A and B are shown apart, each in its own frame.
Chain A
Amino acid sequence: MKIQGSNVIAAPVGEVWTALLDPQVLVATIPGCERLAATGEHAYDMTVTAGVAAIKGTYAGTCALADLVERESLTMRLSGAGAPGTVEASVAVTFAEVDGGTEVSYDADATVGGMVGGVGQRMLTSVSKRMAGEFFANVAAAIAAPAPAASAPVPTPSAPGAAQVFGAPVRASSPDDFLRGIAVGAGLVLLGVVAGSLVGRRR
């Protein structure tokens, strides 16, 4: 599955760049993210519980930012596995200074496996695009008020090695966002997507 798109955020490239690289921003913006553990520079293990409506699944996933070109581009590699299926995604993200802020463009290629892969791909693209739109609002908001919600790093034995673990703020299920739409989110979205494909048929 391939998804492309772009949005403009009313903030300078520098701030947007920094926000996306900040684990506290990540943990605060990935919906249902219960834990994010650093396993290396810009590499994290995460546990995410999310879905659409009451249709939820828990995914064990990883997120790694690579090929960093300061303020220009990066590649986000994501994977998630849970009872409903698996998700492997690679997202090329580019940043460009434009009038009124920063244009962030993404080009995602996601592979969805397992049960969801077999029955739920139909609506994925449209759902993810819609979520991408919402994400940028969140990032803009996060930049306006830098991740107040995220708790301070606390070392946790459960974390691999001496990794830093970032806990998510307790909150009601938040609106979907970019990470959800494109990353482990691709799987999470599928939960809803699958619901769609099944439910659409078997009202």
Chain B
Amino acid sequence: MTTKLMGQGVQRVEDQRFLRGQGRYVDDVAVDPATLHAAVLRSPHAHARIVDIDVDAVLDLEGVHAVWTHEDLTGPMAEPLPLLIPHPALTHGRTQYALARDEVNYAGEAVAFVVADDRYLAEDALDRIRVTYDVLAPVVGIDAARAADRLVHDDVPGNVGARMEQGTGDAQAAIAKAPHRLELDLTVERSACTPLEGRGTVARWDPDSNRMQVWTSTQSSTGVRAVVAVKLGLDLGQVDVITPDVGGGFGVKINHPWPEELLVPLAARTLGRTVKFTEDRREHFVSSAHERGQVQHIEVGFDDDGRLLGLDVEFWHDHGAYTPYGLIVPIITSTQLLGPYKPEVYRVVFESLYTNTVMVTPYRGAGRPQGCFAMERTMDAIAAYLGKDRAEVRATNFIQPDEFPYDQGLIFQDGRELEYDSGDYPASLEKIKALVGWDDFPAFQKEMAAVGRKVGIGLACYVEGTGVGPYEGAHVHIETTGKVKVATGLTTQGQGHATVFAQLVADELGVRFEDVEVVTGDTRRMPYAVGTFASRAAVMSGSAIHLAARRAKEKVLKIAADALEAAEEDLQIVDGVVSVKGSPGTALDLGTVSVLSNPLRYAFDEASKAATQFSVGDPGKPPVPEDEEPGLEGRDFYSPERATFASGMHAVIVETDPDTAEITILKYAVVHDCGRLINPMIVEGQIHGGVAQGVAGALYERMAYDENGQLQNASFMDFLMPYVTEVPDGIDIDHLETPSPLNPLGIKGAGEAGVIPSAAVFAAAIEDAERIPITAMPISPSELFHLRQEHTP
């Protein structure tokens, strides 16, 4: 009997391609001189009316095939892009046009679209387009948006896109009655996903089959498919969307459609040529999406032990110029802010505000880092106020292991109750304290202080709702060769799905891992799917694949039992061979079963010939009896009642230079609980990446907008994505496994976790080293230097 692969650190199958340079990313598709290349003219202004666009000089340029402005768009293409996730609280949702109509609302908004023989010529053409703008004063930053002296959209009073409130009771009353009270004002700046591969789309119109084929670097192929069909007036069945290898997503590629995802197919059909758009780095900074920007006010009432009696949170969310992704980010902040704690009364209200900046959609963590920052800074403040140990105050407020399922009494991002399914927070806390050396730190800190060195330690806890619905599906097909082809609709951008999903199938079906091939994000193979975000892929597609493999297995056993004249329960499948337990001689391989599953028995191959010695089916019934289908396939869908809640705790020790205010990481520790692990190697890789992205967001990366709405650091020279030299040399990781009762595998999502507590944990550690309140993140040496100035009498 082969050992189960679930839980094994199996090496990734996809790496064999990637390591040989045989990955196929969207810009690697249609590498052919006949392919046309697109470029987009973008607004240089943050806020302006378009008076005139003169494209006359473009078309006489040799090698230029076409140019579009909004004037040239008709029907649905001329309408605003869809608002993907409406919400009753989003009373003033606004989305942009594929090409700006009469106004631009951020520097970088698409104004004109050019198609030429190559990208060089397309950019030559952009230089010849003359746009006359009537420049308007922009609204930049949350303060300006709240002041509302100027409006981003004339018809959105106060720049308020949405106002939403929820809670579990009268928090203000609870705070008023509490023995102790505190208030905090906290700020988190903008950052962005910045995957190393930007956005890109290739489209080919096939006039013979009347079909549109689209390759795009997306986190939701089915979403792109649906919108391309609607906007181009095609039937869904005429559009195929294929997601090739994706060079990182981290959230930004879940938004769709990008203007280019519609303009490229439009151009392909209009010109009858394959058309490609590959975004360049600057475009990614000014025309994709950002996140994180939030100002938060917290009022809390607590008792002598630091127990939360009342928590009242108000925050303002900068969602940029448009709201295609609705209120997902602020809703997640407002609910996930609670983390592993159980305040007696909680109330939260937020306003989502328009600014003349790049729009906001989820970035790995999606509002949780801000919420975690609010909650954990509050915990630290309470501990400081009471003179108690920071870990102890947290422990006092933990939901206990025997309290699950625990209903927080709120509505989560998926519209379901915020009910935690499982977890063990006290155990996690003990692990993280041991891992980082929490109890020994004060002594170390004294030692260092004695030699003039400043060190500090921080701790932060989080709970992450993962694996949100509505559903994912899977299709498992056993070929007559015995090879197993698996398809699921969500996409892959580095999570190793081809490996972990193959592990699940190999285990459930009893086939060799090497015989399983997984395809993701191809609407031709699985047209019903949602997408890869919210740490949902393993939970959703993993479960669906597990169930689909089980269906295929049921059919295998039924046919094999018939062929081997044995009872199904006496059969076993090992390494792709079905045999009768105890008598290994009586066996047939899955390929043969596959042949037997199809009454049409041409003896094309050895498997078919081998099959001729067996007879299956009831002569008294039609070859394909009712309720059965030819072929050896299993198809199933997984749709959970609600999200499953992973959790974790990070701790960091930092040193701050007394002279240069440089911040150095001495130790970083993570305790992580995502239920049962499919592939620990891959889960740890996700944590490593999340931690690095967290370090980046806490100490290096920000979107440096000036007061005119110009992004001043739209390059990798000034947007400080860390190199290896900026991340911890080693991350200590310990796992806890509290299985989820909500899915057949007991798993929880792990993709986003690593980044959630970073702002909070670094703020805590720097505050501990400096004895200066840290209320705004990210923080640079320059900013720390000035904080020191302000706090030196």
Give the interface of A toward B (CB within 8 A). Answer: 1, 81, 83, 85-86, 88, 111-115, 117-119, 121-122, 197-198, 201-202
Check if B711 is an interface residue, CB within 8 A of chain A.
yes
Cβ–Cβ contact A111 & B710, under 8 A: yes
In the assembled complex, which residues on chain B have CB atoms less than 8 Å from the CB atom of A88? 135
Residues on the A chain within 8 Å of B706, using CB:
1, 121
CB neighbours (8 Å) of A121 from chain B are 706, 710, 712
Please name the residue on chain B nearest to A85 by beta carbon. B44
Chain B window 165-177, contacts with chain A (Cβ cutoff 8 Å), 1 for yes, 0 for no: 0000000000000
Please tell me if the beta carbons of A86 and B127 are within 8 angstroms of each other in the complex: no
B717 touches A117 (CB 8 A): no
Of the candidates A111, A112, A121, the one having the most CB atoms from chain B within 10 angstroms of its own CB is A111
In the bound assembly, the distance between CA atoms of A113 and B44 in angstroms comes to 5
Report Cα–Cα, A81/B128, bound state, in Å: 12
Q: Is the CB of A118 within 8 A of B714?
A: yes
Q: B282 — which chain A residues lie within 8 A by C-beta? A: 115, 118-119
- B288 to nearest A CB, angstroms? 14
Tell whether B780 is near chain A: CB-to-CB under 8 Å.
no
**A121 — nearest CB in chain B belongs to which residue?**
B712
With the chains together, A143 CA to B461 CA distance in Å? 70
Question: A113 to B710, Cβ gap below 8 A?
Answer: yes
Q: Is the CB of A118 within 8 A of B285?
A: yes
Give Cα A117–Cα B44 distance, bound, in whole angstroms.
Answer: 8
Cross-chain pairs A/B with CB under 8 angstroms, 10 sampled: A86-B44, A115-B282, A117-B710, A118-B714, A119-B282, A119-B713, A119-B714, A121-B712, A197-B718, A201-B717
Neighbouring B residues of A114 by C-beta, 8 Å: 44
CA distance A202 to B282 in the complex (A): 17
Contacts of A117 in B (CB 8 A): 44, 107, 710-712, 714
Interface residues as binary, B615-640 with A (CB distance below 8 Å gives 1, 0 otherwise): 00000000000000000000000000
* Bound-complex Cα distance A193 to B181 (A): 51
Q: How far is the CB of B428 from chain A (nearest CB, A)?
A: 42
Nearest A residue to B714 via CB reads A118
- Interface of A (DSSP majority class): mixed
- CB of A120 to closest CB in B, whole Å: 9
Residue B672 at the chain A interface, CB threshold 8 Å: no
Interface core residue of B44, B706, B712, B713 (most chain A CB under 10 Å) = B44
Q: How far is A118 from B108 in the complex, measured between Cα atoms in Å?
A: 10
A1 to B708, alpha carbons, bound, how many Å? 9
Tell me whether B8 is interfacial, beta carbon within 8 Å.
Answer: no
Q: What does DSSP make chain B's interface, helix, strand, loop or mixed?
A: loop
B45 interfacial contact with A, CB 8 Å: yes
Nearest residue (CB) in B for A110 is B708
Q: Is the CB of B712 within 8 A of A118?
A: yes
Q: Give the size category of B's interface with A.
A: 10 to 19
Smallest CB gap from A86: residue in B: B44
| A119 touching B708 in the complex, CB below 8 Å, given contacts A86-B44, A113-B107 | no
**Cβ B45 vs Cβ A197 within 8 A:** no
Q: Which residues of B contact A83 (CB under 8 A)?
A: 127
CB distance from B183 to the nearest CB of A (A): 34
Give bound CA distance, A115 to B123, whole Å: 13
**B572 close to A (CB within 8 Å):** no
CB distance from A167 to the nearest CB of B (A): 23
Contact assessment for A118 and B717 in the assembled complex, using a CB-CB cutoff below 8 Å: no
Closest 5 pairs (CB-CB, A-B): A118-B714, A113-B44, A114-B44, A111-B708, A117-B710
B40: Cβ under 8 A from any A Cβ: no
CA distance A114 to B109 in the complex (A): 11
- Bound complex: CA A73 to CA B107 (Å): 33
Complex CA distance for A170 and B706, rounded to whole angstroms: 38
Kindly provide the distance from the CB of A60 to the nearest chain B CB, expressed in whole angstroms. Answer: 8
Nearest CB of chain B from residue A158's CB, rounded to whole Å: 15
A118 near B127 with CB under 8 A, answer: no
In the complex, what distance in Å separates the CA atom of A83 from the CA atom of B129? 10
How far is A119 from B44 in the complex, measured between Cα atoms in Å?
13
Q: Which residues of A contact B107 (CB under 8 A)?
A: 113, 117
Taken residue by residue from 286 to 305, chain B's Cβ proximity to chain A (1 for < 8 Å, 0 otherwise) reads as: 10000000000000000000
Residue of A111, A113, A122 with most chain B CB atoms under a 10 A cut-off: A113
Task: Map CB proximity to A onto B41-69 as digits: 1 under 8 Å, 0 otherwise.
Answer: 00011100000000000000000000000
Q: Are A119 and B718 in contact (CB under 8 A)?
A: yes
Q: What's the least CB distance linking A110 to chain B, in Å?
A: 9
**Does B481 lie at the interface of the complex (its beta carbon under 8 Å from any beta carbon of A)?**
no
Answer yes or no: B400 CB below 8 A from chain A CBs: no
Nearest-CB residue, chain B, relative to A200: B717
Q: Measured between C-beta atoms, what is the minimum distance from B584 to chain A in Å? A: 66
Quick check: A118 and B135 within 8 Å, CB to CB? no
B715 sits at the interface (CB 8 A): yes
Partner of B286, one of A1, A86, A111, A118: A118
Q: What is the bound-complex CA distance between A1 and B707, given in angstroms? A: 8
CB distance from A86 to the nearest CB of B (A): 4
Cβ B717 vs Cβ A86 within 8 A? no
Are B710 and A198 in contact, CB atoms less than 8 angstroms apart?
A: no
Chain B residues, Cβ within 8 Å of A201: 717
Given contacts A118-B714, A119-B713, A122-B718, 20 further A-B contacts (CB under 8 A): A1-B706, A86-B44, A86-B45, A88-B135, A111-B710, A112-B708, A113-B44, A113-B45, A113-B107, A114-B44, A117-B710, A117-B711, A117-B712, A118-B285, A118-B710, A119-B717, A119-B718, A121-B712, A197-B717, A201-B717
